[in-house]
Amino acid sequence: MGAVGLRRLGARGVLHRPGELGPACARRLDTVSTVSGLFAVLAACLTVGAWLFPLRFWALMGGAVLSWLAAAGVLFFGGMLAQ
């Protein structure tokens, strides 16, 4: 959970800085999850497109994999920075 005394668990289970209101931290985490969700939607659309257009399957599927990786990366690293 971090170094002792540097972070504490808020009322809603969200980590935040000492003295910071929990809703501010929650808003930052909401923003991160929204951006990650946009990459996930793009990945889902590319995956569907890959199955609908077999001639472009590998190109679209490659884009989908990269989008899924971006979604996971944004969620992980953005979540760490948002705390």
Q: What pLDDT does 68 receive?
A: 97
Does residue 5 register a pLDDT over 70?
A: no
**Is residue 26 a part of any domain in this protein?**
yes
- Express each pLDDT in 19-54 by its tens digit: 566 787 788 889 999 999 999 999 999 999 999 999
Alpha carbons 64 and 50: distance in angstroms, whole number:
9
- Count: domains in the chain: 1
**Is residue 44 a part of any domain in this protein?**
yes
**Is residue 55 a part of any domain in this protein?**
yes
Residue 64 and residue 57 in contact, taking contact as beta carbons nearer than 8 Å? no
Does residue 3 register a pLDDT over 50?
A: no
CA within 13 Å, CB half, 30: 6
**Is residue 13 a part of any domain in this protein?**
no
Nearest to 15 by CA among 33, 1, 4: 1
Q: What pLDDT does 14 receive?
A: 52
Alpha carbons 49 and 52: distance in angstroms, whole number:
5
Does residue 75 register a pLDDT over 60?
A: yes
Q: Check residues 71 and 24 and name the one with the higher pLDDT.
A: 71
Q: Tell me which residue range forms the domain holding 56.
A: 21-82
